[in-house]
Amino acid sequence: MRTVVIGGSFAGLTAALELKRKGKEQHEVTVIDKSPLFLFIPSLIWVPFGRREIKDISFRKDTLLRKKGVEFMNTEALNVDPENKIVKTSMGDVSYDHLVIATGPKVKYDVAPGVKEYAHYIGTPNGAMKTRAALEEFKENPGPIVIGATQNAGCMGAAYEFLFNIEKWLREQHIRKKVDLYWITPETYLGHFGIDGMPGGETMLKSFMKMFHIHYRTEVGVKEVFPDKVELTSGEVLPSKFTMLMPPFIGVDFVKNSPALRATETGYIPVTNDYRHLTYQDVWAAGIAVDVKLPFKPGKVPFSGPKTGYPSDETGKIVAENIYRLSKGKTKLKEKAWGRIPGICVMDAGKKEVIIISDTLFKPRKFAIMIPNVLYDFNKVLFEKYFLWKTKHGLSYLP
């Protein structure tokens, strides 16, 4: 049996390693990815401040996969013909028995005029390094800063982390008093995070904003970004000498160029709770590629839910387990809807942290708690070291 995995980040790498570990020689597993490197994306928030280099948070996944018996194709997947079970790539056609789509996101920079040209984005290595260079220039001639998320964005957590990290950096550079710091978000309230909040979250973040003298605007989108200001959908114009925004994510070109997949308008794959495609029983999705139905209604400005590393890792494991069960003739598959996966996150707050734990990502929940640690971001660093260690060694079965 041959399984082809498109994408080799959190979900794809986990799915491939787990399927090979479970299936051994009976399963041929191939990963197709444009990059031979695995990047621990959550730590990109530290790169602009020189706390991490790209080499500190990346490693060669092609070497790891081949060591574990997984074929790696360093090429671009163009589209899929699910009727004939063929993936078209830049290196030719690849056939499969099962296909796992773990392609991650594409960033929608054109969400508003000027976002691509004048706002920084820290979600890629190149973007993080450009942000570092811009901050070096900024500290020589400081002024107002705008940090936040645009309309339709879902990755609020990383933007909050960058906000508190830049506030800490401004104090370390002894220029904090020269900077008006603004936070803008489409969330209906601080700490919504696209999961309808956590107990005490709004109160905690309001106290953080007051303590760090950060101005904030909720339920706003971005109308246009200029070199020296940001115009909001509310009509307000904020002066800005440095702007960092999290735009929305959309599905990648591979999905959009495969009309038979019947993806959503934003390019995500519709699946059942076992992560199987609604139409094709041999096509699966994991990680950000999954279409997630939100259990809440956004306010007057639309925004999305988070698709973070932990649920991506979990969905990769679920898909691998289900393909393995089918290969053994079993019909009962493992099911766990995205919103029923536990919420586990450590939000960095500028060498401080907030530990966020809940029994499920979306409400209703039986248990949910936010624990601030104002002394150091020890748990954030520990998780980074642990995840990189387990992934480098191919220990995908560990939590």
Q: What are the structural domain ranges in the chain?
A: 2-106+249-339, 109-248
pLDDT band at 396; cut points 50, 70, 90: very high
pLDDT of residue 162: 98
> Mind listing the pLDDT tens digit for each residue in 225-239?
999 999 999 999 999
Query: Topology of 2-106+249-339 in CATH?
Result: FAD/NAD(P)-binding domain (3.50.50)
State what percent of residues in the chain have pLDDT above 90: 96
Least confidently predicted of 99-103, 142-146, 305-309 = 305-309
Cβ contacts of 275 within 8 Å, gap of 6 or more: 284, 285, 286, 290, 315, 318, 319, 322
Is the pTM here over 0.75, yes or no? yes
pLDDT of residue 308: 87
Distances (CA, A) of 132 to 37, 86, 126, 246: 21, 42, 10, 16
pLDDT of residue 309: 87
In CATH, which superfamily holds the domain spanning 109-248? FAD/NAD(P)-binding domain (3.50.50.60)
> Mind listing the pLDDT tens digit for each residue in 14-58?
999 999 999 999 999 999 999 999 999 999 999 999 999 999 999
Residue 3 predicted with pLDDT over 80: yes
Residue 298 predicted with pLDDT over 80: no
Specify whether the CB–CB gap between 204 and 372 falls below 8 A: yes
Average pLDDT over residues 381-390: 96
Average pLDDT over residues 118-137: 98
Token look-up 């999905």 returns 255
User: CA–CA separation, 141 vs 335, rounded Å?
Assistant: 54
Bond from prior residue into 372 cis (ω within 30 degrees of 0) = no
Specify whether the CB–CB gap between 228 and 238 falls below 8 A: no
Average pLDDT over residues 95-122: 97
- The yes-or-no answer to whether 2-106+249-339 and 109-248 have a common fold is yes
Task: Catalogue the long-range contacts made by 265-269 (C-beta closer than 8 Å, 24 or more residues apart).
Answer: 267/106, 268/292, 269/101
Q: Which two tokens stand for residue 141?
A: 């001639």
Residue 295 predicted with pLDDT over 90: no
User: CA–CA separation, 74 vs 93, rounded Å?
Assistant: 14
Average pLDDT over residues 198-216: 96
